[in-house]
Amino acid sequence: MSTEKKTTKTRTVRIYFMGKAYDVPQGLTIMKALEYIGYRFIRGIGCRGGFCGACAVAYRLAGEYKLRTGLACQTTVEDGMYITLLPYSPMEKPRYNLEEMRGEAGYILKIFPEIARCVSCNSCTKACPQELEVMDAIQAILRNDIKRAADLIFDCISCGLCSLRCPAEIRHVYVFQLVRRLAGKYLLPKAKHLEERIKEIESGKFDAEIEKLMKASIDELKKLYMERDIEKA
Amino acid sequence: MSEGYPLELRKAIRVVEETREERLKKKYRRLTLEERDELVKKWHPDYRPDTKRELKVGPSRGAIVYNEVADLLEAWPIADPSKIDLSTIDYDVDILIIGGGGAAASAALWSLYSGIEPDNILIATKLRFGDANTVKAQGGIQAADRPVDSPVRHYLDTIGGGHFANKPELVRALVMDAPFIIKWLEDLGMMFDKTGEGEMIEYSGGGASRRRLHCARDYTGLEIMRVIRDEVLNKGINILEFSPAIELLTDPETGAVSGAVLWNLETSEYIIVRSKVTILATGGFGRLHLAGFPTTNHYGATADGIVLAYRVGANLRDLDSAQYHPTGVAYPEAILGELITEKCRSLGAQLVNVNGEQFIYELEPRDVVASAIIRECAEGRGVLTPTGVCGVWLDLPMIDMIRGPGTIKKNLPAMYRQFKRHGIDITEEPVLTYPTLHYQNGGIEINVYAQVLTPQGTPIPGLLAAGEVTGGVHGKNRLMGNSLLDILVFGRRAGMTAARIVKETSSKPKISFKHLEKYTAELEKINVPKTRKAPIILPDYRGNPDYRGKNPYLKILEITY
Ligand SMILES: Cc1cc2nc3c(=O)[nH]c(=O)nc-3n(C[C@H](O)[C@H](O)[C@H](O)COP(=O)(O)OP(=O)(O)OC[C@H]3O[C@@H](n4cnc5c(N)ncnc54)[C@H](O)[C@@H]3O)c2cc1C
């Protein structure tokens, strides 16, 4: 970075991890706080940016019975936080052939009959670090509204926290994966232009022009590049 | 919970708000090539004299690379041949794929489509399958499929963006395969953003002359990875997670790459793999924090692939340039260096300095925009956070004003969520940004079949590579949306080439550490300290969570024997 660190006094908060209390600087994420106290992660960590779902955590705050969940890379430490890491949510991935399916709930229920056991307790929704309407999505599947289900849980990062909390023992991560692929393949309209363009490419329509660019001198290329028209953003 | 911006930053935001009406009407002019050149040479870290040095060992000796990369290439292997027993092979396969991102998954599927049995393919990856840069990609993937666009334009945009240093035949493969790749993803069930009639919703990325970024909200890479990972699992391809490769193996007679030594992160045991073909798909180097920058990259982005390939004779190219994403998070500190997607600028958000002025057209190529931001901060027109990080504003609320209320929440949910968690509402407040280390522009040189080349241009038998670990496709600077494309195009080509080679190879190769003899002799000659070892596998942030002021990569993971 281009600037000097100012000497401001950092305030600390007390967290509890693996049976010990630690004072860590305020404002750190749980992940950075654990690194601060001396952990070098080899699991329960992935992208560090809230996209991969590897760093699920459960925690309670001092004086509270409520069990909270989140991502270690996205949750800032609070005073009196009792933390544990949940690097994996155990579940077998069922295998299927998408080509033999359609965008209908029946195909999903056949592989995941347990979703019919959903008691609408909403624990999944409360556990979701992405704040998705998880239970509504399960209910949408049961109503055969696959597109809506896919839309509701599109932002799922597969951390598995919902599945760990679910009394019906639903494997949401894999249910939702199938839901999205069925929606993408069978319920969204097919892209326009693609087939056409692929045919043009295969027929060799652009070959000569590209060949010409590949042989052009840098000066020629620079000229063409600067003179090309630019579509409005 | 954090409570959003502190008072001093809230005051600074007022200036941004005051100039917004005026700025909405104004576009900053584009720079000429000469102006771009001058800006980049003055401010970009690639041009700082202290960031790079000449390589003293190996096939690309004499090449200029970043210091942090040179440190790893001029380092001892972590695998000690005298302590590793190669007589028992744990996995004996046709194709070994090293890596667990999009390039690896694409290579696996196309090996299979090309006739290799799933049992004869092995994917070995460092953390979990999908813990990779691929899932972090937000903006989109390029393909010239609209009638007003063409692969020829895509070609010109790509090499112009790459400062005309790209390898032409690789660029041709990239742009010509692109529409096919999008179709493949659609057939696999990827949920692209489309209109009700099936028109792909496409945005313009920096340096592109047409709107050609296909996306899936701002989770494009995640959606690609989810879909192809699911398909790899459906097909029953073998996967070893938490098993990074620490060294390649070679046939002592032919010099061909014949497998790898993996290291079980959980139990600290070695795993010996023999293969007829090995595909390196290990991604980039963001976690080396080049030039002291923060990074957008995933935890395992530590340049292992180039280290391994270099020891068996691969040529490295364009590693003198790195891509710094112009808009990394500068505040809050908790997510310092994380990405603010370029799509924000595609949607209309402007960059604004402390005086509320625009200082660059926001969709110039990345190196140009990054240089302009570094200049603003260096010349005192940046905004300082309470902990002394400097940045400029990205005026996000403009997006909803230009494109209608709700646009941000609908098109940038990941961004919205990321900041909301820290008490900042990006529909109402701008965000503070500073460049962050983002992409490894160069890397292992390959040909159009994804074969790894020596400096003489001959393929190294048994070794292929695809994705961010390679160099040549993007020249000295990658355009947004070309990397997701790159990993699928060349992952596919690697898979197909691997299948062909397997079919042509009848005998099983021998495995050895022979290639290390020559390499370590060179290290000996230049007196590399015995403590400097590579690959480093994971960075070390112990006691130093914000990496600043200290090299995070000095210690390798200890191996216990
Ligand atoms: C935040 C962010 C946003 C981005 N946005 C875009 C975008 O909008 N559009 C675009 O086109 N590109 C984007 N990119 C770039 C793009 O995502 C990456 O370049 C691309 O996904 C790289 O894919 P890959 O398969 O080559 O590598 P990765 O996806 O990084 O996968 C590499 C894999 O190899 C594994 N690995 C590493 N070392 C070893 C080892 N020694 N042994 C075994 N396994 C190993 C890693 O753990 C990882 O699983 C973005 C990148 C980032 C970081």
Instruction: Flag if B216 and A154 touch (Cβ within 8 Å).
Output: yes
B403 in catalytic set: no
Indicate which of A10, A47, A203 best probes the interface with B, i.e. most B CBs within 10 Å of its own CB: A47
d(CA A121, CA B177): 48
Distance B134 CA to ligand 1 centre (A): 4
**Residue B403 sits in the same domain as residue B470:** no
Contact assignment for A29 to B335 by CB distance below 8 Å: yes
Cβ B292 vs Cβ A1: under 8 Å: yes
B263 lies in the same domain as B384: no
Q: Which domain holds residue A175?
A: 98-187
One domain, residues A178 and A197 = no
Query: B138: CA distance to ligand 1 center in Å?
Result: 12
Kindly state whether residues B309 and B427 are assigned to the same domain: no
Task: Choose one of B248, B270, B282, B489 to mutate for the ligand 1 pocket test, by most ligand atoms within 8 angstroms of C-beta.
Answer: B282
What pLDDT is recorded for position B559? 54
Residue nearest to atom 13 of ligand 1 (CA): B137
The domain total for chain B is 2
Pairing of strands B350-352, B390-395: antiparallel
Q: Are residues B426 and B452 in the same domain?
A: no
Cα A12 to ligand 1 centroid, rounded to whole Å? 35
Give me the CATH number covering residue B116: 3.50.50.60
Nearest Cβ partner of A3 from B179, B293, B384?
A: B384
How far is the C-alpha of B219 from the C-alpha of B214, rounded, in Å?
11
Q: How many domains does chain A have?
A: 3
Is residue A201 included in any domain, yes or no?
A: yes
Which of A54, A85, A116 is where one domain is finished?
A85
Between positions 68 and 107 of A, the ones with CB within 8 A of B are 74-76, 78, 93, 95-98
H or E element that contains B94 = strand B91-98
Helix (H, G, I), strand (E, B) or coil at B279: strand
Q: What is the pLDDT of residues A65-99, one digit of tens each?
A: 999 999 999 999 999 999 999 998 999 999 999 99
C-alpha A228/C-alpha A221 separation (Å) is 11
Give the orientation angle of helix B151-161 with respect to helix B168-187, to 10 degrees. 120
Which of B405, B438, B471 finishes a domain? Answer: B438
* CATH number of the domain bearing residue A110: 1.10.1060.10
The answer to the question of residue A91 being in a domain is no
In-domain check, residue A17: yes
Query: Which residues in chain B (107-146) have CB-CB distances under 8 A to chain A?
Result: 127-128, 130-133, 135-136, 144-146
Of residues B36, B289, B345, B474, which has the active-site annotation?
Answer: B345
Do B172 and B297 share a structural domain? yes
Q: Higher confidence at residue A2 or residue B475?
A: B475
Contact B234 A95 (CB under 8 A): yes
Chain mean position to CA B70 = 18
The reported pLDDT for the residue numbered B386 is 85
**Same domain flag for A18 and A81:** yes
Residue A26 belongs to a domain: yes
Judgement on whether residues A48 and A80 belong to the same structural domain of the protein:
yes
Least confident residue range of A53-62, A200-209, B384-393: B384-393
CA A60 to chain centroid, in Å, comes to 24
pLDDT(A26) > 60: yes
Residues B347 and B495 in one domain: no
Among the candidates A85, A106, A132, a domain finishes at A85
HSE of B408, CA atoms in CB hemisphere, 13 A = 26
Same domain, A65 and A105: no
Residue in chain A closest to B340 (alpha carbons) equals A49
Domain annotation covers residue B63: no
**CB–CB contact A155 B217 (8 Å):** yes
Question: Which of the two residues, A8 and B15, has the higher pLDDT score?
Answer: B15
Q: Select from A36, A46, A158 the Cβ nearest to the Cβ of B299.
A: A46
**Is residue B362 domain-shared with residue B486, that is, in the same domain?**
no
- Identity of the residue in A76, A157, A181 whose CB atom sits nearest the CB atom of B334: A76
For chain A, the first-to-last Cα distance in angstroms comes to: 31
Q: Look at residue A41 and give its three-state secondary structure.
A: coil
Residue nearest to atom 14 of ligand 1 (CA): B137
Average pLDDT on A104-109 reads 98
| Average pLDDT rounded to a whole number, residues A54-75 | 97
Report B:453-482 residues touching A (Cβ under 8 A): none
Provide residues with CB under 6 Å of ligand 1: B 98-104, 124-127, 131-134, 136-141, 220-221, 244-245, 281-283, 296-297, 300-301, 304, 339, 439, 467-469, 480-484, 487, 535
CA distance B187 to chain A (A): 6
- Checking A165-169 for CB contacts under 8 A at 24+ apart, the result is A165/A69, A165/A123, A165/A124, A165/A126, A165/A127, A166/A123, A166/A124, A167/A119, A167/A121, A167/A123, A168/A114, A168/A115, A168/A117, A168/A118, A168/A119, A169/A114, A169/A117
Please check whether residue A92 lies inside any domain of the structure.
no
| B325 carries an active-site annotation | yes
Inter-helix orientation angle A134-142/A172-182, to 10°: 60
| Residue A201 CB partners (closer than 8 Å, separation 6+) | B151, B176, B179, B180
CA of B477 relative to ligand 1 center, distance in Å? 16
Q: Which residues contact B404 (CB under 8 A, 6 or more apart)?
A: none
CA distance B68 to chain A (A): 16
**Residue B135's pLDDT is what?**
98
B403 & B389 share domain: yes
The residue to mutate among B273, B484, B485, having the most atoms of ligand 1 within 8 angstroms of its beta carbon, is B484
| Cα–Cα distance, A19 to A14 (Å, whole number) | 13
* B394 is a domain residue: yes
B127 CA distance to ligand 1 middle (Å): 13
- Identify the closest residue of chain A to B151 by CA–CA distance: A206
Quote ipTM for the complex. 0.96
Q: Are A42 and A65 part of one and the same domain?
A: yes
Judge whether B51 is closer than 8 Å to chain A, CB to CB: no
Closest CA to B540 of B550, B549, B530: B550
Output DSSP code: residue B93. Answer: E
Q: Are residues A32 and A66 in the same domain?
A: yes
Cβ separation B210–A181 shorter than 8 A: no
In a domain, A34, yes or no: yes
Q: Count CB pairs under 8 A between chains A and B.
A: 272
In a domain, B460, yes or no: yes
Q: Please indicate, yes or no, whether residues A153 and A180 belong to a single structural domain of this protein.
A: yes
Distance CA A82, CA A203 (A): 64
Q: What share of chain B is helix, strand, coil (3-state, %, to 5)?
A: 35, 20, 45
Residue B45 in any domain: the answer is no
The residue annotated as part of the active site, out of B214, B325, B474, B478, is B325
Expressed in angstroms and rounded, the spacing between residue B467 Cα and the centre of ligand 1 is 8
Judge if A149 and A78 occupy the same domain.
Answer: no
Q: State whether B263 and B314 are in the same domain.
A: yes
- Asked if residue A179 and residue A199 are part of one domain, the reply reads no
In the reported structure, the alpha carbon of residue B294 is separated from the centroid of ligand 1 by a whole-number distance in angstroms of 16
Q: Is residue B421 part of a domain?
A: yes
Is B386 in contact with A154 (Cβ distance < 8 A)?
A: no
With beta carbons under 8 A apart, name residues in chain B contacting A35: 541-545
Is some CB atom of chain B closer than 8 A to the CB atom of A203? no
| pLDDT over 90 (residue A130) | yes
SS3 content of chain A, % helix, strand, coil (to 5): 40, 10, 50
Residue owning the nearest CA to atom 37 of ligand 1: B282
Show residues of chain B in contact with A32, CB under 8 Å.
334, 541, 545-546
- In the three-class reduction of DSSP (H, G, I as helix; E, B as strand; rest coil), residue B106 is classed as helix
pLDDT at A5 over 80: no
> Residue B156: which of A154, A188, A224 has the nearest Cβ?
A224
Residues B359 and B404 in one domain: yes
Assigned domain for B553 exists: no
The residues facing B464 across adjacent strands are: B279, B451
Q: Inter-chain contact B188–A181, Cβ cutoff 8 Å?
A: yes
- Which residues of B, range 278-297, sit inside 8 Å of A by Cβ? 292-294, 296
**A69: which 2 tokens?**
């969940």
Nearest CA in chain B to A208: B152
CATH classification at residue A63: 3.10.20.30
Of B408, B438, B468, the domain-final residue = B438
A169 and A102, same domain (yes or no): yes
- Cα A158 to Cα A132: distance, rounded to the nearest angstrom: 12
| Residue-number span of the structural domain to which B413 is assigned | 7-30+323-438
Residues B175 and B282 placed together within one structural domain of the fold? yes
Of A38, A61, A85, the residue at which a domain comes to its end is A85
Chain A hits for B325, Cβ within 8 Å? none
Cβ–Cβ < 8 Å for B481, B207: no
Q: What is the pLDDT along chain B (561 residues), one digit of tens a residue?
A: 457 999 999 999 999 999 999 999 988 999 998 999 999 999 999 999 899 999 999 999 999 999 999 999 999 999 999 999 999 999 999 999 999 999 999 999 999 999 999 999 999 999 999 999 999 999 899 999 999 999 999 999 999 999 999 999 999 999 999 999 999 999 999 999 999 999 999 998 888 999 999 999 999 999 999 999 999 999 999 999 999 999 999 999 999 999 999 999 999 999 999 999 999 999 999 999 999 899 999 999 999 999 999 999 999 999 999 999 999 999 998 888 999 998 899 899 999 999 999 999 998 888 999 999 999 999 999 999 887 889 999 999 999 999 999 999 999 998 999 999 899 999 999 999 999 999 999 999 999 999 999 999 999 999 999 999 999 999 999 999 999 999 999 999 999 999 999 999 999 999 999 999 999 999 999 999 998 999 999 998 887 655 544 444 445 555 544
Instruction: For residue B268, give the nearest of B84, B73, B77 by alpha carbon.
Output: B84
How many whole angstroms from A84 Cα to the centroid of ligand 1?
28
Asked if A145 and A203 sit in the same domain, the reply is: no
Burial string for A93-126 (b: 16+ CB within 10 Å, else e) reads: eeebebeebebebebbbebbeebeebeeeebbbb
Asked if B306 and B173 sit in the same domain, the reply is: yes
CA angle B227, B191, B157 (to 5 degrees): 95
B318 occurs within a structural domain: yes
Question: What is this structure's pTM?
Answer: 0.96
| Residue B558 in domain | no
- Best probe of the A interface among B230, B268, B336, B550, by most A CBs < 10 A, is B230
The helix (H) or strand (E) run that includes residue B462 is strand B459-465
CA distance A97 to chain B (A): 7
In the listed set B418, B438, B458, which residue is the last one of a domain according to the structure?
B438
Mind telling me how many Å the CA of A121 is from chain B's nearest CA? 25
In terms of CA atoms, which chain A residue is nearest residue B414? A155
pLDDT-derived band at A192 (thresholds 50, 70, 90) equals confident
- Do A113 and A165 lie in one domain? The reply is yes
For residue B26, the CA-to-ligand 1 centroid distance in Å is 36
Task: Say which of B384, B389, B538 has its CB closest to residue A42.
Answer: B538
For residue B112, which amino acid is it?
A: L
Cis, bond preceding A189 (omega within 30 deg of 0): no
